[in-house]
Amino acid sequence: PHRARELGGGSYQDELIGPARTDCFRVAKTHLTSPVVKDETSCVIAIVTAGTVIAEAGGETHRLQTYDKVFLPAGLGPVKFTPQPHAEILECFPPAP
């Protein structure tokens, strides 16, 4: 893994598979220790790999637990993730533009 970005409050995102390995897709892992608002520019398949997180987007709230999966379409807008008290999310993205 290589640290892709700090998300604040001790939360961060690591790149696991990026353009240096393949141009077909990207994989990252987000480690959450505090609430984070993410606004990705592409679609994301997200899998909770540890903990529990509350996801809020488009006026809806969903409680996601370990092994829950969710598809976040491109253009969804900001998504607020609030870990309970911590969570890890594996994120699969399409190729970089």
pTM of the predicted protein model: 0.92
Alpha-carbon distances, residue 41 vs 9, 52, 66, 96 (angstroms): 22, 24, 25, 10
Is residue 48 within 8 A of residue 82, CB to CB? The reply is no
Of the candidates 86, 96, 79, the residue with the CA atom closest to the CA atom of residue 38: 79
Tens digits of per-residue pLDDT, 31-79? Answer: 999 999 999 989 999 999 999 999 999 999 999 999 999 999 999 999 9
